Amino acid sequence: DADGLDAVIKDGQLPQGTDLLRISQNRIFEKDFLSNKAQVTVAPYKVVTSNQDLADIDLSKNYVLKTATGGYDGHGQKV
């Protein structure tokens, strides 16, 4: 992970840094980077961090819920 890599390179060099790794490890950071900084069109999404956020969702529609971090190969996802 990015924190581990930062610790390893503390005394060395990693010219590209760890910013891109840090972004790609978090789906919220990744969507924000792609849509706002890279100007890439992404599918509509909503960040849910509270029960109120859940209450505001239109449950008549279908969604794919994903964890922000740690998911892989379908783990951390629910349809």
User: Per residue in 10-66, pLDDT tens?
Assistant: 767 776 777 888 898 999 999 999 999 999 999 999 999 999 998 999 989 998 889
Residues in CB range of 54: below 8 A, 6 or more apart: 48
pLDDT at 43: 92
Residue 39 CA from chain centroid, whole number: 16
* pLDDT score for 53: 93
pLDDT reported for residue 60: 92
Nearest to 14 by CA among 24, 29, 2: 2
